[in-house]
Amino acid sequence: MTVDIAGEKVGHLDCASRKLEAAAHTAQALARATIDMAVIDATSPDVRTGVANQTATRQRMGNMFGTSVHPQRPYRTPPAMRPGAVPGSRP
């Protein structure tokens, strides 16, 4: 294919034409993919919308679910005193 630009003949542009056509097809495919994508709305599952669900919250909160805003933590025993240390004094 020869093109006439401003009175000058330009050589074969088949290669450039094919590359532009391939880029156009790729862009069209990407545009179609976004159109076909499911819309996240109020009826979507919690996992899709990023909202915490009750089961996950129960797992995280443990037995404190519904009674406290702080999650359940195991009881932490204080460290054992060193032999010969006086209670309340610092090393």
Q: What is the pLDDT of residue 80?
A: 83
Q: What is the pTM of this model?
A: 0.32
Question: Per-residue pLDDT tens for 15-48?
Answer: 677 778 888 899 998 888 777 777 777 777 776 7
Give the per-residue pLDDT at 78: 79
Q: What is the pLDDT of residues 37-90, one digit of tens each?
A: 777 777 777 767 777 778 888 888 888 888 888 888 777 787 887 877 776 666
pLDDT at 10: 67
The three-class DSSP label of residue 44 is: coil
Q: How many CB atoms lie within 10 A of CB 69?
A: 6
